[in-house]
Amino acid sequence: MSPVSENPGPTLSLTGFEALPGWAEDDQGAALQTFRRSCERILAGDPARPLDVKTGAAIDYGTLGDWQPVCGQANAPAALADPRAFFENHFQAFAVEAENGPTGLMTGYFEPEIDANLTREGPYQTPLLAKPGDLQRLDLGEFDPTLKGETIRGRLEGGRFVPYPDRAAINRGALVPGDLAVAWVRDPVDAFFVHIQGSARLKLPDGSVARVGFAEKNGRPYTAIGKVLIDRGELSRENVSMQTIRDWLAANPEERETVLEANQSYVFFSRRNVTDPTLGPTGAGGVALTPGRSLAVDRRVHALGAPLWFEAVLPGDADPTRKLMVAQDTGSAIRGSVRGDYFWGSGDGAGDRAGEMKSDGKFWVLLPTALAAKQR
């Protein structure tokens, strides 16, 4: 099969379900429950709208109208009785191969649980900020169709649209935290990793739990501080992980801010309730994430809401894990046709697994049968 767009992108190859490695061993029922959450939004939308309005042209995921029939069937008793047959009867699978081959980087992320307060007092001195009123996002596709899916962020100053302040400037007072803080955190390193993960559960002094979720970002470039420490010779590529980064920051407090501010990207949050403790925060796809079944992908390539067959070796395992997941989130560092970020869940245990995950993996996308016919 030829590439599915004129732009450089992935090649899709039709693959029978019997040829998907591990297909017969998976619990497709768990994936079906995750898919049905995305289907709630798909069924409620305009059939003419693209499945994911942020997706570029790398893969044709069609419109909501292409997906609404299968989403309707996902709620039928037959699908609940035999989820594997539901996917086999209503979808076709395609192996995804990028320009540099069929494998790509698979990492993990999680929802931290951190000590926080809703007011600034005592040890709670590091703010998590709400979206500022002057932050604007421009869709460049509205100005040039070739830039569909590309956005920039900034603010108006003196009649000019200029970049928004970076992390260092915000830390030094470019924004007034007292006006914007949705919560105050005890540990500034915890706050930084909440920015990286995009959400957190807040353990409040009265014993209750609140949540903050991604609201917006300043639009500045994202830089992985693990790479910064590797380039400085402080850590090696072999041993870099969230825990080794934390250990280095704790051992070098005088250099902490310089390293953290090498990542110019800054995330803003909104406060949310924890309605179902078994689920994660709301992802970019607008639904609560499912531990072990929700995947963050590059929205320039993949549409949120689509099922993907996933293969990668998870931390501590010798053999690959193969399972059906659903694209329900994205991230600044998730770039590539075969690039995934596996949602592990909430808390320290999930964080340990997420922080260790870094392996090659593969994708197969599942498309509704009628839409799949258009790919040939």
- Shared domain for 300 and 215, answered yes or no, is no
Our count of domains for the chain comes to 2
pLDDT tens figures, 296-340: 999 989 999 999 999 999 998 999 999 999 999 998 889 999 999
Q: Tokens 């047959």 identify what position? A: 85
Q: Say yes or no: 214 and 234 in one domain.
A: yes
In a domain, residue 3? The reply is no
Domain boundary residue, one of 235, 257, 272? 272
6 in any annotated domain: no
What pLDDT is recorded for position 3? 34
Residues 155 and 253 in one domain: yes
Res. 376 pLDDT band, cuts 50 70 90 = low
pLDDT per residue over 40-83, tens digit each? 999 999 999 999 977 766 899 999 999 999 999 999 999 999 99
Res 349 pLDDT > 80? yes
SS3 (DSSP) at 204: coil
Q: Quick one: 224 and 291 in the same domain? A: no
Examine residue 194 and state whether it is found in any structural domain, yes or no.
Answer: yes
pTM, two decimals, is: 0.84
Domain presence at residue 255: yes
Residue 8: predicted pLDDT? 52
pLDDT digits (tens, 9 = 90+) for 101-160: 899 999 999 999 999 999 999 999 999 999 999 999 999 988 998 887 788 999 999 999
Q: What is the CATH number of the domain that holds 68?
A: 2.40.40.10
Question: Would 2 be classed as within a structural domain?
Answer: no
pLDDT in tens, 179-227: 899 999 999 999 999 999 999 999 999 999 999 999 999 999 999 999 9
Range of the domain at 36: 11-108+278-373
Same domain, 311 and 185: no
| Strand ranges (E), the chain | 11-15, 91-97, 104-111, 113-117, 126-129, 136-139, 151-157, 160-163, 181-185, 199-203, 209-217, 267-272, 294-296, 307-312, 321-329, 340-346, 358-368
pLDDT at 277: 86
Angle 16-17-20 from CA coordinates, rounded to 5°: 95
Q: Domain check: are 49 and 61 in the same one? A: yes
Q: Confirm whether 1 is domain-assigned.
A: no
The pLDDT value recorded for residue 5 is 37
The CATH number of whichever domain residue 228 belongs to comes to 2.40.240.50
Phi, psi of 149 (to 5 degrees): 90, -10
Residue 178 lies in a domain: yes
The domain boundary, picked from 272, 290, 313, lies at 272
Same domain, 267 and 287: no
| Last residue within a domain, chosen from 272, 304, 333 | 272
pLDDT-based confidence at residue 1 (cuts at 50, 70, 90): very low
Please, is 5 exposed, middle or buried when counting C-beta atoms within 10 Å of its C-beta (0-12, 13-18, 19+)? middle
Judge if 252 and 363 occupy the same domain: no
- Are 287 and 139 within one domain? no
In this structure, the answer to whether residues 252 and 360 fall within a common structural domain is no
* Mean per-residue pLDDT, 357-371: 96
Q: Are residues 141 and 244 in the same domain?
A: yes
* Residue 4 located in a structural domain: no
Residues 132 and 229 occupy one common structural domain: yes
Q: Say how far residue 81 (Cα) sits from the centre of its chain.
A: 30
Please choose, from the candidates 323, 325, 308, 322, the residue with its C-alpha nearest in 3D space to the C-alpha of residue 366: 308
pLDDT-derived band at 6 (thresholds 50, 70, 90) equals very low
List C-alpha distances in Å: 85 to 24, 27, 126, 310: 11, 12, 51, 18
User: What's the rounded Cα separation, in Å, for the pair 253 and 102?
Assistant: 42
